[in-house]
Structure 1
Amino acid sequence: MVDAVRCAIEVQNGMVERNDGVPQDRRIEFRIGIHLGDVVEESDGDLMGDGVNIASRLEGVAAAGAICLSEDAYRQVKARLDLSVSDLGNTQLKNIAEPIRVYSLQVGIAGTKAAATSETGATQTVTASSPKLSIAVLPFANMSGDAEQDYFADGISEDIITALSKLSQLFVIARNSSFTFKGKNVQVQEVGTKLGVRHVLEGSVRKSGNRVRITAQLIDAATGGHLWAERFDRDLTDIFAVQDDVTQQIVDALAVNLTEGDRKRLVPGQTGRPEAYDCFLRGRELWHRLTKQTNNDARDLLQRAVELDPNFASAHAFLALTHGLDYLNRWSASPQHSLQQAEEAATLAVARDNNDPVAHWALSVVRLYSRQHDRAISEAERAIGLNPNFAEGQVSLGEALLYSGRSEEALACFDRARILNPYFPDIVLHFQALALFQLGSYQEAVELLLQRVSRNPVTDVSRALLAACYGHLGRFENARATWQEVLRVNPDYSLEYRRKVLPFKNPADFELVVEGLRKAGVVQ
C-alpha cells in the first residue's frame, strides 16, 4: 500500500511538471483513487470486485491533480509517509451501499493548497478546500461588563459546539481548538485556514439579572460573507431554547440533511433549573483548567448542580471526571476511593441520560482505569456514536485500545482526534508515541516524545518513555541523560507506582518499557 501511494504521488508530480507552461485546454490532469480491499482476477487478467469498484468511485470524487484514499488505505500509510491530507468526512459513493470516510491528498502545485502542520500541531488547510459542511464555533464574547461572567459566555459556546457535534453530516472543530482564539482579534478567513473549516460561528452574550441577550452570526470563512445572523433576548429560563434555535438556524443555513439519528441526538437533555445550569457552567469551566485547586472548586460546584437537579446527567459526568483527575494525579488522600467515587458518578450519569455522550465518555475513562477494558471500549464507542465529532471520545477510545494491546487501531483514533482538534492536548503525543513504542517503532516514538517534552517541559512520564526508547535503540547515553531529567522533574518518580496504576491489559506491555530502561542501565 505504501508503494502504491508513493507511485500515485510520483505520477501526479510528473504530470505537474509535464503540464508546466502548457495551455489549460491541452493539459492532461489525472484523478487517482486508492482503496485497500479484496479483488478477483478474471481469466483475461482484468481485476474485479468491491476493492476495484470503491477505488474507481474514489477517483470520481478526487479533484484534478489530487489523490483520494479510503480510510482503510489511509490507515495503512499514515504513519509511514509524510502526508498532507484533508479529511473529506463520510462520503456517499455511487453504487456503494455505505458511506466511506475519504481523505484527499494533493501533491505538486496543488499541494501548496494542502494541509501543513505547524509547531503547535495545528492543521492548516486552505478554506476553499475544506469540507463544505464544516464549522468552528468561536468563544462568544462576554459583553456583560463583568469579567467574572466569562464562564457563562464560554459555556454557551461550548454547549452549541456539543449540539452541533452530534450531527453526523457536519464536521465540527473541538472546543480546545476553537478556544485558542479566545480574546484575539482575528479575521474569520484566518480561523478557517488554521482550523480547516468552511464556516465560522461567532457571537456575544450579555447577561443582566435574569435576562440574557445572545447575538450570533454564521460566516463563510472563504468569502467572509454572512450566511445568517440573529439576536435573542430571553429570560435565563429560556437559555436552552435559544441554544436549540441557534443550532437549528445553522442546520437550515448550511442545508444539512438530518438523519433520524441526528434528530434523536438533538433532543435537549439539559437541566430545567437555571441555578443548576449556572453551577454546571462554572464547574465545567474550572475543570478544564486541570489544576488541583480548580478541580476541587469544580467538584464543589458540580456537586451543588446535582443536588439542585439529581437528573442532570452532564453534571454527574463532569463530577465523575473531577474524581478521575484526583485518582490519576494522586490529588486525594485515597486515590482508590476517588476512583470508586468516579465510577458511582459516571454510572449515575448514564442512568440519568443514556443518550448523553459525555456520560458515556466519563464512564469509559472510569472503566479503563478499573481495568475493564472491553467495557471501556464499548462506552467510548457509544460516546462517539452519539457525538460523531467527539475528539475527547476518540482519545478515550484510542487510550482504551492502546492499553488493550491494539495499538494500530489506537493510532487511527488518535489521528481522528487530531483532525477534529487541531490544537490537540499534548498528552495525545504521548499516547501516539506509546502505541508506536508497542509496535517497535522506537525512532518514530522518539520524535513524538521530543515534541511532547517541548510542549510540556515538566512531563515525567513522557521522559521516562523516551529514555526507554533510547534504551531499545542502543542510545544509552541519551537514555541516561533523559532519565536524569525524569528525576529532576519528579524526584519521587516511581516505576512501581506506574506499574500499579497504568491499565495495561497485558503486563508484558509495561515490562517492555522497563526492559528499555534496563538496557540503558538506569534501573535494575
Structure 2
Amino acid sequence: MTLRLRLLGGFEAVRERGRLRPTTRKAAALLALLGLRPGIPVPRARLAALLWPESGEAAARTSLRQALAMLRKDLGEGSPLPVAEGDDLLLPADQVESDVAAFERALADPSRLAEAAALHAGELLAGFDAGSDAFEDWRRDEAARLRDRLAAALGAALAQAGGASATTLATALLTVEPAAEDAHQALIRAHLAEGALGAAMRQYAKCRDALQREFGVPPSPATEELRARIRAPQAQEGEGDDRPALAVLPFTDLSDDPAHGWLAQAFAEDLTAALSRFRVLHVVAAASVAAAHEPGAPMTETATRLGARYLLTGSLRRAGTQVRLTADLTDVREGRHLWAQRLDLPADRLPAIEDEMVAAIAGTLAKRLEQNLVREARQRPAADLRAWECWLRGLFLLRTGDEARAREAEALFRRALDLDPGFARAEAGLSLVNFNDWSCMAWDRWTEREHGAFTHAQRAVALDESDPLAHMILGRVFLYRRDFDRADHHLARAEALNPHDADLQTQLALTHCMLGRPEQGRDAAALAARLNPFHDDWYFAYAAIPAFCLGDYRGALALADRAPEIATDMEAWRAAALAHLGRLDDAAAALERFQARFRERITFGRAPKPGEAARWLAHVNPFRRAEDLARLMDGARKAGLEDGGKRTSPRTPQPFLRPGD
C-alpha cells in the first residue's frame, strides 16, 4: 500500500483506502518530517528537538516514542510504517511518495523545470501548526530554501529564453518570487509586443508595488524605460481609418466613501464600450487609456499619448441618497469645450438605471461629435476631404431631402470609394441615394434605382459585416421587396450591433410597424427620444407611425404636427388618422394636399388614373400583415381616396403606374 504525502501548500496524507488524519498534530508533524524525503534517515535527537524543544532530552525522547506509537496506530496494518535504523528513523522510499522529493528530483533536471514549478503548489507546510516554535523556524527556513532554489532555476532559464517560453517562465517565477523584477520586465515586453498597453501598465504597477513592499525601492531604470514605452504616443489612426479618435478618461470618484470608487471606474468603462459601437469616430480602448493616462497630466499630453483628438472626462459624487454625474467633452486639438452633461440621480436606483444613463450619454455624445465633424467637413473644399469626411458631408446633404443635393451627396460617396475602395459606409451612402430615389422620387427609373439600392447595400454589408447602418439599409431594401424574413434578420442585426444609436432606433420605429410589431415600434421611438433628447424634428414623423398602427390617432396627429414633411405620403397618413377620428372635413383637406404632392412628385403633373394613388400608397408602405395595411387604406378611403374598386394585399401589392402608362 502506497502512502502519498502532499507537503507543498499545506499538509495531506492519502493512502489507498482514503485520507489519513493523524490523531495528534505532533504525530502529523512527525509524519511530515519523515516523509519529506522518504528513505533518508532522520536522527531521533533531531526529531525530538524540533517537536519538543521546551522539554529536556529524556522527556523529549519519551514524547517522541509516544508520538511514534500513535502514528503507527493511525497508519494501521498494511500501511508503510516508520522504520528504525540505529538511532535514526525513516519511511521506506518504495512505499511512500512525497511531492517535496518529486519536486527536488525534477528541479535537478533542467528539462523538467516546468514540472518542478507545477509541483511547487505553495509554501512548504503552509498553514500547518505543530505547536513548536523550533518546528516553525525549521519549516520557514526549509520553505525559503526550496523556494529560492526554484526561483534561481527559473531566473537562470528566463535569462536564456524568449517568446512564449519567456512568458511561461516569468509567470512561474512570479508565483514564488513576486518581486522578481526580471520576470515583470519579461511580461511587460510580452504585452508590449502584443500591443496590450493596459496589461503592460498593470504589470508595471505590480512590479512597482512588489519592489516597494519587499525591498522599499523603486523600479530600476530598465523597468522605467519599459514604462516610458508604454506611455509613448500612440498612432492616432489605424490603417485605412481616417476617423478622429476619442478617449474616455477614468471618471473621478468624488464620493465621501472611497468604497464607491468602483462605480466611477465601471461607468467610464461601460461608456467606452457603448461609444465604440458608433462609427463616427475611433474610440480608444479602455485598457490603452488606463495605460497611458496619468492623473494630473495636462490634457494635451494625455491626448498626444493616446493619439486622440477628443477627451471625455467625468466624475461621480455620491452623498447621502443622491449621486451627481458629470461628463465633459473637449476637442483638444482645437482647445474647445464641446459638450457637458450634469445629472442628479437617486443612489438607490443607480444600479438599475446605469445602463440607461450610459446609453443616453453615448447616443447624445455621438450625435454631437457627428455634428461637429460635419460642420468642419462642410467648411473644407471637397477636393481636400478624406474618405470619412466625404461620407459625413454626403450624409448631411442627403438628409436635406433636396434632389439636387442628393446628386452632390452621390458624387461625394463615389469620391470616398475612389479614396478607399473598401469603405463600407461609401457603399451604404450610394445605397441610400438610390433608395431615396426609388422609394420617394424616381418612379421613372424604378428598376435602375431599386437595383442600385440593393446592390450597394449588399456590398456595404460584405465590406463590413459589423456596420449597423449597412444592415439597416439592406433590411429596408428587403422590406420594400416584401422579403420580410430577410428584412427582419438584417434589421435585428443592425439593432444588436448598436442599440444606442438614436437614428437607428427611429428607423426601427417604422420597420417594426411594417413587420407587424407596432408595440415594439412605439418602444423604439421612445428609446430614440431618450437617447437623443435634442433630436431633429423628423423623429416625430417616424414616431407617429406606431401610434397610428396602435389606433392612437390623436397621438399620431400630435406627433405628425411637429414633424416636417419628409415623404410624399405623409399627408395621406394624416388624412387617414383624421378620418378614423370622424373629422372628415379635415381629412379631405389633408387628402387634397397628398394628391397635389402626388401629381407633382410621382406623376410629374399628369392627372393620376383611377386608383393609381391608392396603389402607390399601398406599395410604398410594405406591411407584412393585411390588417395593418387595411388600417391605413380604409382611413384614406374614408377621407376620399379613390381606389379604383380594387383592394390591395400586403404581400402582392398592385404595381404602380409609371408616367406614360
TM-score between both structures, scaled by the size of structure 1? 0.48
- Computing the radius of gyration from Cα coordinates, the structure with the larger value is 2
Structure with the larger helix share: 2
Structure number with higher relative contact order (C-alpha < 8 Å, ≥ 6 residues apart): 1
